[in-house]
Structure 1
Amino acid sequence: MRRGIRFSIDVGKARIGIARSDPDGLLAIPLETVKRDLESGSHLTRIAELAAEYEVLELIVGHPLNMRGESTPSTEDAVSVAQDLAAIVGAPVRLLDERLTTVSAARQFRAAGKQASRSREVIDQAAAVVLLQDALDRERQHGTPAGTELSTP
């Protein structure tokens, strides 16, 4: 297992959930929810600031394919954010299939007796945690980073 902090990014239309790992890559931890600003791109700036602050090894962006594994408008949006991040963050950016991560996070909230509609920002972070923990577990199991690395422009 490579040593270093990883971020996962759960891209939504209104918000982006961010989780980080510990330096040993054992545990995913919620970090922050960033509001999207399509006009100024301030969400990208904030993620880049956080990535620099934590000196991330890599960013893992959720790749929201539909249940048949096909691309959707959400897929294109997430890929666009991932490409933008790859251009401004000094670390590799990887795409990882995220089917059901938000659903899984919302279920965990309901199981804990919390209302998902009142916890949207926390659910965005929780979805990023689910995504990152999956990536960490896959890397530990297979010995190679999970997902597909984007090439930088």
Structure 2
Amino acid sequence: MTDDRTAFRAALPDGGRLLGLDVGTKTVGMALCDAQWTIATAAETIERRKFSKDLERIKTVIVDQFVSGFVVGLPLNLDGSQSKQTQAAKSFAQNLRPVGLPILLWDERWSTQAVTRDLIAADVSRKRRSQVVDQMAAAYILQGAIDGLAAIE
């Protein structure tokens, strides 16, 4: 588990699909990218239960989608300091370690707000926004990460 994109990139020399996670208190938004790390796509939102149930669903996605690494959104405060949500996301990522895939922690400041603003601009209903905002935030986080990883090559 690292926030160093160079180290993460080195752990995945052949690329591979990444699973982006936007970890909230009630839901986890998931997104996937292609194996060449060009585009992230919203996948699904899971309701948080016990971590073992959340992990069961995540493992299914890993197998079905041939995932080779995780990008977990790290909700820092605007000044870059950590909060309770930051610690919760780190704990969630730490709990993913037994899966055995590399984990990149990615600064997700403004992700949910940016996605919400875009959904409102697209005239998406409040109900529909609540259904997709977390998975779209995961895609936003993952896209930022893969863009950052591409700059390393």
Indicate the structure with greater helix content.
2
Any idea what the Cα deviations from partners look like across 1:22-71, whole Å, max 9, x if unmatched? Answer: 12111101111111003x63112211221122221210000001001111
Alignment partner, residue 25 of structure 1: 37
Q: How far is the alpha carbon of 1:140 from its aligned partner?
A: 1.0
Alignment partner, residue 36 of structure 1: 48
* Equivalent residue pairs, number: 141
| TM-score of the aligned structures, taking structure 2 as reference length | 0.86
| Larger RCO of the pair (alpha carbons < 8 Å, separation 6+) | 2
Is the CA contact (8 Å cut-off) linking 1:105 and 1:126 kept in structure 2?
yes
Distance (whole Å) between structure 2 residues aligned to residue 43 and residue 102 of structure 1: 21
SS in 2 for 1:7: strand
Is the CA contact (8 Å cut-off) linking 1:17 and 1:121 kept in structure 2?
no
Distance (whole Å) between structure 2 residues aligned to residue 131 and residue 13 of structure 1: 17
Q: Of 81, 86, 98, which aligns to 2:92?
A: 81
- One-letter identity of the residue aligned with 2:85: S
Distance (whole Å) between structure 1 residues aligned to residue 148 and residue 111 of structure 2: 15
Q: Which moved more, 1:19-28 or 1:107-116?
A: 107-116
Any idea what the Cα deviations from partners look like across 1:83-139, whole Å, max 9, x if unmatched? Answer: 11112x231111111001111110110110113454223000110010011011111
Is the CA contact (8 Å cut-off) linking 1:15 and 1:33 kept in structure 2?
yes
Alignment partner, residue 129 of structure 1: 139
Is the CA contact (8 Å cut-off) linking 1:18 and 1:124 kept in structure 2?
yes
Unaligned runs of 5+ in 1: 144-153
Distance (whole Å) between structure 2 residues aligned to residue 29 and residue 92 of structure 1: 20
Is the CA contact (8 Å cut-off) linking 2:15 and 2:36 kept in structure 1?
yes
